[in-house]
Amino acid sequence: MECQQVINEYLKWIKDNTVIKAVEEGKICSISTPFLDRHNDHLDIYLIKNEGEFKLTDNGYTIADLKMSGFEVNTPKRESILRTALNGFGVKINSDDELYVEATQFNVGQKKHYLLQAILAVNDMFNLAQETIHSLFKEDIELYFRSNDIYFSKDIKLTGKSGFDHNIDFLIPASRNKQERLIKAVNSPKKDSILSSIMAFNDINQTREAQTKNFVIYNDFEKVVSKDIIGALDNYGVKHIPWSKKERCLSEFILN
């Protein structure tokens, strides 16, 4: 197959799978594209004409979809990732979380392509490397602690009886009525990550003079956590708090 034929087939695929509908005759139309979002739904954008100029917009759908799934763009790191994704395509975002570009009749096709590529890049924020996702989940917990005046230290390395160092995401000091609390943040509560947390707690506890209370805060927005995982935490005396019910943190972690 010749290269030009490949290009022609690609352009034909885009044309054949693009559906345009008038929303407001002569002013606004919706464009259903062949590109898919993370739900495998076709990406829809809107073309708004105003005195010879054009605005192409997602109408706020992309960010709203992330928020509906529990992913808030509410920390400096997340805002930086978002801005990087948008700036690479010259796409803007307004106070209504609308992703958009402005165009003329001479570059509207190119700007449409840039907007679609930016939307796909923002969608991919949900598929970041696991290390980055874990870091963002820890940021959510830290932000919640600070907003509720919960005092803590973070990223503490403690040595267990085995001689190995273990990273504890948050440590809340003992108070008059409460033990020292060690907290592991688990963004993806799977068997391996939960067992690793349990083993770390057990190893550390054997070297602490005073008994600690151990917690796992896990992200339950993406999928239901299995009963086996919850049972394992219960069996080893590790308290577990799903992030959807983070109000439990207040009674457990406040100093009193």
In a 3-state reduction of DSSP, which class is residue 43? strand
Residues 117 and 171 grouped into a single domain = no
Confidence at residue 237, expressed as pLDDT on a 0 to 100 scale: 92
Q: Which residues contact 169 (CB under 8 A, 6 or more apart)?
A: 138, 141, 154, 155, 183, 184, 185
CATH number at residue 82: 3.30.1460
> Which pair of tokens denotes residue 68?
């509906």
Q: Which of 79, 106, 126 is the last residue of a domain?
A: 126
Confidence at residue 73, expressed as pLDDT on a 0 to 100 scale: 81
Owning domain of residue 225: 130-253
Confidence at residue 208, expressed as pLDDT on a 0 to 100 scale: 87
pLDDT digits (tens, 9 = 90+) for 50-73: 888 999 999 999 999 888 877 778
> Considering the chain, what is the average pLDDT of its residues?
87
More confident call, 148 vs 225: 148
Burial class, 58, CB count within 10 angstroms (exposed 0-12 / middle 13-18 / buried 19+): buried
CATH number at residue 225: 3.40.1350.10
Amino acid 41 reads D
Q: Which of 84, 99, 126 is the last residue of a domain?
A: 126
Q: Which of 92, 126, 160 is the last residue of a domain?
A: 126
**CA dist list (Å): 253 to 32, 42, 147, 242:** 48, 44, 13, 15
Structural element, H or E, at residue 30: strand 28-36
Residues 186 and 121 grouped into a single domain = no
Residues 120 and 52 grouped into a single domain = yes
Q: How many domains does the chain have?
A: 2
Confidence at residue 1, expressed as pLDDT on a 0 to 100 scale: 54
Residues 98 and 179 grouped into a single domain = no
pLDDT digits (tens, 9 = 90+) for 193-209: 888 899 899 889 888 88
